[in-house]
Amino acid sequence: MRKFTPLFFAAFLLFFIPTQSDAGTAIVPVSKTVEDAPESPEAIALQIRLDEIKAMDFSTMSSTERKQLRKEVRDIKSELREIGGGVYISVGAILIIILLLVILL
């Protein structure tokens, strides 16, 4: 196992070193389309409330008020996720799946 450690380290570096392959590509701004818009009136109301909170001036608020707003934002975002549905996979899970596929296939 001691002999394979440099080999694993070299393979790790080859896979995770950033490259300059897309240095010339332009960044295109993504606009919100009709498909991305929330469909239910509840989701629209929650999104409006999030926009109101983002527009607030936090410098005049006390720390307890800011904590309450952070909690409200977290609650609203979790409700929007529940309304929107979908499956979320973390980057770590994707890497594990890819490694398992490479090993098994």
Whether residue 44 is contained in a domain is answered as yes
Whether residue 14 is contained in a domain is answered as no
Whether residue 25 is contained in a domain is answered as no
Whether residue 103 is contained in a domain is answered as no
Among 38, 76, 23, 32, CA closest to 54: 76
Whether residue 98 is contained in a domain is answered as no
Domain count, the chain: 1
Whether residue 56 is contained in a domain is answered as yes
Q: What is the 3-state secondary structure (H, E, C) of the chain?
A: CCCCHHHHHHHHHHHHCCCCCCCCCCCCCCCCCCCCCCCCHHHHHHHHHHHHHHHCCHHHCCHHHHHHHHHHHHHHHHHHHHHHCCCCCCHHHHHHHHHHHHHHC
Task: Give the domain range for residue 58.
Answer: 39-85
Whether residue 100 is contained in a domain is answered as no
pLDDT at 8: 73
User: Structure pTM?
Assistant: 0.46
One digit per residue, pLDDT tens: the chain, 105 residues?
Answer: 566 677 777 777 667 665 555 555 556 565 554 445 557 888 889 999 999 999 999 899 999 999 999 999 999 999 988 887 667 778 888 899 999 999 988
